[in-house]
Chain A
């Protein structure tokens, strides 16, 4: 993982895409500031004019000018916001799209090494913090810098001693914001830390509520929680102590600059070195400077947070995908679908021992292979290596005689229809779920056929919205068996050369299972199939059966030869007969 010194520089190419808008936006900032400079000056003429007693007709003129200036300024300000904040949203949009595209390329082992919540928080909270830098932070810093430069120039020309005096509190405000900002941030972090202990405690309590109740520990849990809460309160109080000073102090400091103006400026007016109009204009300029001086510190904090967040996003975006097309990869034409494992030994990254040992196996195109074995014997791992969900070592897994690593990833996966062990459906309609892997123009007939194969068709026709039935998040509205059958249809619909069933009939009753297998048999002869299962009924018709134990093949043969052999398989078979008997008791 690369460490970047300035994470925010990563955003430059993104901003570069919108450089013309940025330039235009900056022009708008300058125009807005310049326009706003006129109002206090007009006020100066009004006051001085009134003091000397001038023509009444001019009053209306001046009033109209004030209004006109604000309209012009408002026009520029409107475009300033629209353009600059708009750019930040555009970059956010691009960045979010790229984030997903990157995640999609990442291998399962990468995704499994991080919690979904962790990735999510980077895509949401952190992206938000980065967006704040791109939008408000950039806009306000442009605005502040321009405003301070121009206003200072005007004020210095007007009366430099008064300017210096009135600026002292303003500088103090900026320093206060920066200084307090850092300290407030630290205390805030410590509150967050305590809050996370609080959350952890509550989370644990709720997940372990049965244990808490079983041991009648409610009271002591409440006491523990109370202690954490008091500490949380204590830390909050320490923040409030600071926070309580912060804003009032700022108001007081800004007020000091008004006092400086009133006192020193008042004397200047009396000494006739300053007109009353200039005095009022001065007051106007100072008021305009109030917000930017506060913004300086605030913007700095935004930049700091945005930079930290960008760093966190880059921890994901900077990791190159570990499974991708090798240079010069090509797919054989036409695809037949034979599979071979050659002396395959495999271990997961960051784990100690191998999960699979010395597996050698050939599955000719159009035949079927069944894999049985206990939980943890490596069955799923073995089948996951074929579509390269995890990368096998070079020269160990072949499809049509070609190392899977030399296949273009997309081609390889298109050849394989998988029904994973854990059924995952998307919160969409049944139709969309079945058509998930197929081209978007797949015909309804073909989908109906796929539904027929997995015996889900009858269930679907019993739903009021048929194929358009919404399955809910993760398919929550369907039963376990229905979900599995939708997943089977999804795999069948792509007409793959290789079908992989990873324990995919476990939630389906034996009667339906038999009918599914019957339907599958019709289409299997031109496809290679791999069935992982605990159930003898699922696998007994397979051309080849292997028994895995601790990652090794311990038995291989057909149903008949293995039952005759009296090994693991035969024992499993006997037990299932008993189980069936028990079920009917």
Chain B
């Protein structure tokens, strides 16, 4: 929600550095852009001709009663209409197409860049904020490209075209009209300044309204419990009133500005009548020219009031591009080294050598951790909440880099592997199973086209996931909701197992779910686990007694240090930390020996 306020801070309206960088995005489409500008120039030029045609009609044909000439002029006028139509269609089409393509490029670049960034970046930046970059900020730039830049061109070109036309018609009168221009500019400038202030007031007020609403909806229970409804409402009315007042102020400025513009344009017409009228009477100006002048002055003022509106678009776009570029300039600290020496993970041995790590300086999470896991071995890691178990996993997959010591796989430092290759050979099943919205099989395949349907079904069969999948409406094609809400915790676990199995990793990492699962599912999971771990090096953050008892070794992590290592029986005899943990966490679980053997499930 902090986005509400953050996003509404507006900076300066033009920044050459940002603009130059923005223009590089248009570069691939410069031909379209150029063509669009040509269309624009041609279109504007032709529309400027139209009042001139009226002038010719009045002076040359209507005055003299020349019907044929009048027909010709009408025909010419229609021709200009057709061409203006064609040119402005071409311009709109080209420019919007370019805008959309540029946005696509930009959006893809942001998205691709996000894929490269470190996990710690995502720890720091809430999803909502990053989403704004991909959506709102990109849109602000689209607005700039399609309506901003181009119409500024249009306005400037039309304006200068009309000035030229006026001078060609009659330079004295043209000069008189131009004298009004400073008045217009002054009015517009004053208006712009005033409106900017009240616009800012409105934005601030609306941000406060939104923040207040959001807070009071989320905290509705507290408001109700303490009977604060009336006072909160009064407070809201005050903020709301500020919004109203700010708007009333801006209405006032608009209400003055628009009529004032018309007064200025009436001033122009009055000038034409007075000065032009004299010239007509003196015979130095034709009536047709006078009429053309009136028509031009009407078109003259539109671009100027238009230009002032472009200011906000520009301002918003600058702020957005600044944020986007800041994101794009954030470099990942964790990436594949220039020349990764280590090839594939083959045997799958793991070694932690004197590893220390902290998320925040001064708060060590892991302290001088050393242990080895041989190929095909199963090691269980146990410890109290916050002992640093999950951090071990994150370090192995290089979600974060160790600060001291090193982690070796197959004898090579993890930093020397190709990052993608490394992660591909480590299969992770996390406690909180994240499912993407998509079908069941899509969630197992996770976009890996190398995995075919049979492999998916096989993986699901092996981990006993198919029995529930086949009961779903569309079986493997059933769509699971956002975050997999339509599936139970146990079912999601099984799906995650199938996912890991389909990827067939050398190393398997499990963060077991602690949530209580019914005995039947528990049995299925236990058997699935056994199959999953066969022939793989496994590190398990263990919550299940069965896992612990079957592990080759147990590592007890306490406050970031390894305190005990050994098998279940050895550690129990020690009567140390493990023994206490065992009493606390595992004692109530059914003894694996006592529940039906998983083998019976295969039959």
Note all chain A residues with C-beta closer than 8 A to B291: 47, 280, 283
Q: Is the CB of B273 within 8 A of A111?
A: no
Q: Is the CB of B84 within 8 A of A255?
A: yes
Note all chain A residues with C-beta closer than 8 A to B277: 46, 50, 56, 59, 62-63
Residue from A50, A71, A120, A387 with most neighbouring chain B CB atoms (10 Å): A50
CA distance A124 to B550 in the complex (A): 58
Of A13-21, A245-253, A343-351, the one with at least 4 CB within 8 A of chain B:
A245-253
Of B206-214, B452-460, B535-543, the one with at least 4 CB within 8 A of chain A:
B206-214
Note all chain B residues with C-beta closer than 8 A to A305: none
CA distance A510 to B220 in the complex (A): 30
Assuming the A-B contacts A116-B218, A256-B81, A440-B231, are A266 and B62 also in contact, with contact meaning beta carbons closer than 8 angstroms in the complex?
Answer: yes
Q: Is the CB of A104 within 8 A of B135?
A: no
Q: Is there a chain A Cβ closer than 8 Å to B134's Cβ?
A: yes
Of chain B, the residue at the smallest CB distance from A79 is B255
CA distance A245 to B131 in the complex (A): 33
Q: Is there a chain A Cβ closer than 8 Å to B601's Cβ?
A: no
Q: Is the CB of B248 within 8 A of A89?
A: yes
Q: Is there a chain A Cβ closer than 8 Å to B346's Cβ?
A: no
Note all chain B residues with C-beta closer than 8 A to A79: 255
Q: Is the CB of A276 within 8 A of B58?
A: yes
Of B15-23, B353-361, B371-379, B423-431, the one with at least 4 CB within 8 A of chain A:
B423-431
Closest CB-CB distance, A201 to chain B, in whole Å? 9
Q: Is the CB of B115 within 8 A of A221?
A: yes
Note all chain A residues with C-beta closer than 8 A to B228: 436-437
Q: Is there a chain A Cβ closer than 8 Å to B204's Cβ?
A: no
Q: Is there a chain A Cβ closer than 8 Å to B12's Cβ?
A: no
Of chain B, the residue at the smallest CB distance from A579 is B584
Q: Is the CB of A262 within 8 A of B54?
A: yes
CA distance A39 to B211 in the complex (A): 50
CB contact list, B193-243 vs A, under 8 A: 206, 209-211, 213-229, 231-233, 236-237, 240-241, 243
Of chain B, the residue at the smallest CB distance from A234 is B100
0 or 1 for each of B461-505: is its CB under 8 Å from A? (1 = yes): 000000000000000000000100000000000000001000100
Assuming the A-B contacts A86-B251, A220-B446, A263-B71, are A212 and B115 also in contact, with contact meaning beta carbons closer than 8 angstroms in the complex?
Answer: yes
CA distance A322 to B561 in the complex (A): 54
Residue B217 contacts which of A43, A119, A259, A490 (CB distance < 8 angstroms)? Answer: A119
0 or 1 for each of A214-244: is its CB under 8 Å from B? (1 = yes): 1111101111111001101100110011011
Q: Is the CB of A582 within 8 A of B581?
A: yes
Q: Is the CB of A240 within 8 A of B84?
A: no
Q: Is the CB of B111 within 8 A of A199?
A: no
Q: Is the CB of A111 within 8 A of B220?
A: yes
Residue B81 contacts which of A229, A252, A283 (CB distance < 8 angstroms)? Answer: A252
Q: Is there a chain B Cβ closer than 8 Å to A179's Cβ?
A: no
Assuming the A-B contacts A63-B270, A97-B236, A420-B225, are A120 and B84 also in contact, with contact meaning beta carbons closer than 8 angstroms in the complex?
Answer: no
Q: Is there a chain B Cβ closer than 8 Å to A342's Cβ?
A: no
Residue B111 contacts which of A92, A222, A232, A263 (CB distance < 8 angstroms)? Answer: A222
Of A156-164, A181-189, A203-211, the one with at least 4 CB within 8 A of chain B:
A203-211
Residue A251 contacts which of B53, B67, B85, B134 (CB distance < 8 angstroms)? Answer: B85
Note all chain A residues with C-beta closer than 8 A to B423: 213-216
Residue A62 contacts which of B2, B62, B273 (CB distance < 8 angstroms)? Answer: B273
Closest CB-CB distance, A181 to chain B, in whole Å? 17
CA distance A215 to B281 in the complex (A): 87
CB contact list, A569-585 vs B, under 8 A: 575, 578-579, 581-582, 585
Assuming the A-B contacts A43-B294, A74-B263, A77-B262, are A267 and B216 also in contact, with contact meaning beta carbons closer than 8 angstroms in the complex?
Answer: no
Q: Is there a chain B Cβ closer than 8 Å to A331's Cβ?
A: no
CA distance A244 to B551 in the complex (A): 68
Assuming the A-B contacts A103-B217, A248-B89, A276-B62, are A267 and B70 also in contact, with contact meaning beta carbons closer than 8 angstroms in the complex?
Answer: yes
Q: Is the CB of B251 within 8 A of A225?
A: no
Assuming the A-B contacts A216-B420, A229-B108, are A224 and B447 also in contact, with contact meaning beta carbons closer than 8 angstroms in the complex?
Answer: yes
0 or 1 for each of B505-524: is its CB under 8 Å from A? (1 = yes): 00000000000000000000
Note all chain B residues with C-beta closer than 8 A to A575: 583-584
CB contact list, A132-179 vs B, under 8 A: none
CA distance A233 to B100 in the complex (A): 6
Q: Is there a chain B Cβ closer than 8 Å to A494's Cβ?
A: yes
Of chain B, the residue at the smallest CB distance from A575 is B584
Of chain B, the residue at the smallest CB distance from A62 is B273
Q: Is the CB of A203 within 8 A of B127?
A: yes
Closest CB-CB distance, B306 to chain A, in whole Å? 14
Assuming the A-B contacts A89-B247, A204-B437, are A97 and B577 also in contact, with contact meaning beta carbons closer than 8 angstroms in the complex?
Answer: no
Q: Is the CB of B581 within 8 A of A74?
A: no
CA distance A221 to B584 in the complex (A): 42
Q: Is the CB of A248 within 8 A of B447?
A: no
Q: Is the CB of A387 within 8 A of B225?
A: yes
Of chain A, the residue at the smallest CB distance from B271 is A63
Assuming the A-B contacts A202-B111, A255-B50, A437-B226, are A70 and B263 also in contact, with contact meaning beta carbons closer than 8 angstroms in the complex?
Answer: yes
Q: Is there a chain A Cβ closer than 8 Å to B189's Cβ?
A: no
Q: How many A-B residue pairs lie within 8 Å, measured between CB atoms?
A: 363
Report the count of interface residues on A (CB-CB < 8 A). Answer: 130
Q: Is the CB of A208 within 8 A of B221?
A: no
Of chain A, the residue at the smallest CB distance from B70 is A266
Closest CB-CB distance, B14 to chain A, in whole Å? 27
Q: Is the CB of B108 within 8 A of A259?
A: no
Closest CB-CB distance, A380 to chain B, in whole Å? 11
CA distance A195 to B112 in the complex (A): 18
Q: Is the CB of B78 within 8 A of A70?
A: no
Residue B77 contacts which of A81, A230, A249, A255 (CB distance < 8 angstroms)? Answer: A255
Note all chain B residues with C-beta closer than 8 A to A252: 81-82, 84-85
Main secondary structure of the interface of A (DSSP, over half): helix
Q: Is the CB of B215 within 8 A of A420?
A: no
Q: Is the CB of A75 within 8 A of B259?
A: yes
CA distance A296 to B384 in the complex (A): 70
Closest CB-CB distance, B389 to chain A, in whole Å? 15
CB contact list, A267-299 vs B, under 8 A: 267, 269-270, 276, 279-280, 283, 287
Q: Is there a chain B Cβ closer than 8 Å to A473's Cβ?
A: yes
Of chain A, the residue at the smallest CB distance from B398 is A213
CA distance A585 to B577 in the complex (A): 8
Q: Is the CB of A70 within 8 A of B262?
A: yes
Closest CB-CB distance, B290 to chain A, in whole Å? 7
Q: Is the CB of B57 within 8 A of A262?
A: yes
Q: Is the CB of B278 within 8 A of A56?
A: yes
Q: Is the CB of B85 within 8 A of A249?
A: yes
Note all chain B residues with C-beta closer than 8 A to A244: 89, 92-93, 96
Q: Is there a chain A Cβ closer than 8 Å to B325's Cβ?
A: no
Note all chain B residues with C-beta closer than 8 A to A585: 558, 577
Q: Is the CB of B216 within 8 A of A255?
A: no
CA distance A210 to B580 in the complex (A): 33
Q: Is there a chain A Cβ closer than 8 Å to B412's Cβ?
A: no
Q: Is the CB of A200 within 8 A of B437?
A: yes
A residues at B contact (CB < 8 Å): 39, 43, 46-47, 50-51, 53, 56, 59-60, 62-64, 66-67, 69-71, 73-75, 77-79, 81-82, 85-86, 89-90, 92-93, 96-97, 100-101, 103-106, 108, 111, 116, 119-120, 123-124, 195, 198-200, 202-218, 220-226, 229-230, 232-233, 236-237, 240-241, 243-245, 247-249, 251-252, 255-256, 258-259, 262-263, 266-267, 269-270, 276, 279-280, 283, 287, 387, 389, 410, 413-414, 416, 418, 420, 424, 426-427, 436-437, 440, 473-474, 490, 494, 575, 578-579, 581-582, 585
B residues at A contact (CB < 8 Å): 1-2, 50, 53-54, 57-58, 61-62, 65, 67, 70-71, 73-74, 77-78, 80-82, 84-86, 88-89, 92-93, 96-97, 100-101, 104, 107-108, 111-112, 114-116, 119, 122, 127, 130-131, 134-135, 206, 209-211, 213-229, 231-233, 236-237, 240-241, 243-244, 247-248, 251-252, 254-256, 258-260, 262-263, 265-267, 269-271, 273-274, 277-278, 280-281, 287, 290-291, 294-295, 298, 384, 397, 399, 419-421, 423-424, 426, 428, 430, 434, 436-437, 446-449, 482, 499, 503, 558, 577, 580-581, 583-584
**Known pairs A108-B224, A216-B419, A427-B215. 7 more at Cβ < 8 A?**
A62-B274, A86-B248, A108-B221, A120-B217, A212-B115, A229-B104, A413-B225
